[in-house]
Structure 1
Amino acid sequence: MNIVLTGSLGNIGKPLAKELIVKGHSVTVISSNPEKQKDIEMLGAKAAMGTMEDVSFLTETFKGSDAVYCMIPPGDYFDQDFNQLEFYKQVGTNYAEAILKSNVKKVIHLSSIGSNMDKDNGQLIAHTHVENIFRSLPEEIKVTTLRPTSFYYNLFGFIPAIKSQGIIASNYGEDDKCPWVSPSDIAEVVAEELEGSFSERKVRYIVSEELTCNEIAKTLGEAIGKPDLKWILISDGDMFNGALSIGLNPKIAKGLTEMQKSIHNGKLLEDYYSNKPKFGKVKLKDFAEEFAKAYNQ
């Protein structure tokens, strides 16, 4: 198959490209960073250098492909002028236009848990809008929507607080249970779906493991030599103010607070539990080794 991947050689893109190439597929990787071209070609893929904002570039790159994998990066949360919702809407619209113009019939869309909701999901509402854009494509275009859960590597964001305060703190925590996922498990599912039948549109969740926040704190704490590490539950107001204090864009801070409130009260996870998939291979104990390396740098 001729497959086009967006997302450059990121946490998902690199293992995905490697797996598809090993399986004999012809892979094109889109990247906006000229420095990535050599790395892409060294994997055995074709590098397509351009941006998600350029519909003509996307259309030309998509032409002749059997399937495309579409994802949107989160953007810079510390950019005070960044409007994540509008950015996602624009890129989603660009993807849809390029898919139509290039006559692609098979699409994998990397969305997110919580994107089934049209309120109370905070910043994840951006994924809701993109899903709606893809859903509006003609029925003959078979779109597989993948909804990964919380990424393990999001836990890196707690390192400064652990070092300065000795705790993890957010407006979900303690005995709240959360599903988590590894990028390599996501890559494996994307590859599986790309090689699938595309007989109909479908939605699939991706998860590696479910753990309470206390269990996460214990595992990470043991990995970094702090076996008594706790994950403290704080108020929504303290969460929002804390996010502002480290320089987050106010809209992002508000969205994160609302999203995490929805984890705490369970709303964000309802559809996931109604359509729960099997667990992937990578467990938190595996990730804890990476976490410890980052913590000790």
Structure 2
Amino acid sequence: MNIVLTGSISNVGKPLAQELVKKGHSVTVITSKAERIEAIESLGATAAVGSMFDADFLAATFTGADIVYLMETLDAAGDFFDKDVDFIGAISQIGENYKQAVLRAGVYQIVHLSSIGAHKKHGYGILEFHYNVETILGQLPRDVSIKFIRPVGFFTNLFGLIRTIKTKGAIISNYGGYKKEPWVAPADIAAVIAEEMENPFAGRTIRYVASDEVSPNEITHALGKAIGKPDLQWQVVPDEQLLNNWLSIGFNSQIAHGFVELQASQGSGVLYEDYYRHEPTLGKVKLDAFAKQFAAAYNAE
């Protein structure tokens, strides 16, 4: 099949492209940076350089595809320290561009990488943009089949803790403790997407993806052990303190408020209500395996 992937060779995109090429599919990877062409071609895929904000480019690239994989990230909208960026609005525009490109290109099979929390507009902070894009894509004609993939929090997001651990000597959040929550590895997401691309498409479907279920304290123990800091602590602070910390270092207000609300929903458990109504089989990558990756990144900085 001819498959077009958005998102370049990201944590999910790279293993997904590798798997699809291995299975004999013709794969085109969209990237915004020409310097990634060589890396994409080394995977056996074709690179298409352009922007997700360019609907004409997207439509031209999607034309002739049997399946298009759509994804969007906050990074595509701008820098977290740029106080003027409307991240929610910018990503909604990407969703609109996707919708128009799919219509113009005549694509009838879509896999969309969404997120846990996309089932509801409010209550999960910055995840609102996933709800918005799912809603926009849902406006496509009913003969366009869409598989919405909803992963939980990425293990790789924990790399963002490295700076705080090194400067503060602890993990700092507005929730913590012994309550388990689901996490996912990008490799397991890629495996699910590759599987879904080879399964029949019909209507609109939703599939959650997770790799392991662990508590904040278990994460702290595993990461601390891996980096040689067995006494590493996960410190819980009030929402307002965390928000003020992030604003004081220059975070965009929408980003700061959005992540505080998101993490509060993790702590209360409300983020996972729909997930547990459609609980998936867990993937292969567990916390201990990720902790080794974390240690490598920690020691490299």
Q: Same fold (TM over 0.5)?
A: yes
- Written as runs of structure 1 = structure 2, the 5 A alignment for 1:58-77 is 58-75=58-75, 76-77=79-80
TM-superposed deviation, 1:57 = 0.8
User: What's 1:246 paired with?
Assistant: 249
- Written as runs of structure 1 = structure 2, the 5 A alignment for 1:148-297 is 148-297=151-300
In 1, the alpha carbon distance for the partners of 2:220 and 2:295 equals 12
User: What's 1:2 paired with?
Assistant: 2
In 1, the alpha carbon distance for the partners of 2:44 and 2:117 equals 35
> Structure 2 regions of 5+ residues with no counterpart?
none
TM-superposed deviation, 1:246 = 2.8
1:135 alignment partner, one of 122, 138, 152: 138
State whether structure 2 residue 141 is matched by structure 1 residue 124.
Answer: no
In 2, the alpha carbon distance for the partners of 1:155 and 1:214 equals 14
TM-superposed deviation, 1:216 = 0.4
* Secondary structure of the structure 2 residue equivalent to 1:48: strand
**1:55·1:98 contact (CA, 8 Å) conserved in 2?**
yes
The RMSD of aligned alpha carbons is 1.0
- Written as runs of structure 1 = structure 2, the 5 A alignment for 1:94-105 is 94-105=97-108
Moved over 6 A (4+): none
**1:34·1:49 contact (CA, 8 Å) conserved in 2?**
yes
TM-superposed deviation, 1:44 = 1.2
Q: Residues 47-99 of structure 1, C-alpha deviation per residue, up to 9 Å, x if partnerless?
A: 11111111111111111110000001222322222211011110000001000
User: What's 1:35 paired with?
Assistant: 35
The two structures have a TM-score, normalised by structure 2, of 0.96
Q: In the alignment, residue 58 of structure 1 is paired with which amino acid?
A: L
User: What's 1:11 paired with?
Assistant: 11
Q: Aligned residues, how many?
A: 297
In 2, the alpha carbon distance for the partners of 1:164 and 1:274 equals 39
In 2, the alpha carbon distance for the partners of 1:178 and 1:253 equals 22
Q: In the alignment, residue 60 of structure 1 is paired with which amino acid?
A: A
The two structures have a TM-score, normalised by structure 1, of 0.98
In 2, the alpha carbon distance for the partners of 1:124 and 1:208 equals 20
Q: In the alignment, residue 207 of structure 2 is paired with which amino acid?
A: R
* Secondary structure of the structure 2 residue equivalent to 1:205: strand
Q: In the alignment, residue 82 of structure 1 is paired with which amino acid?
A: V
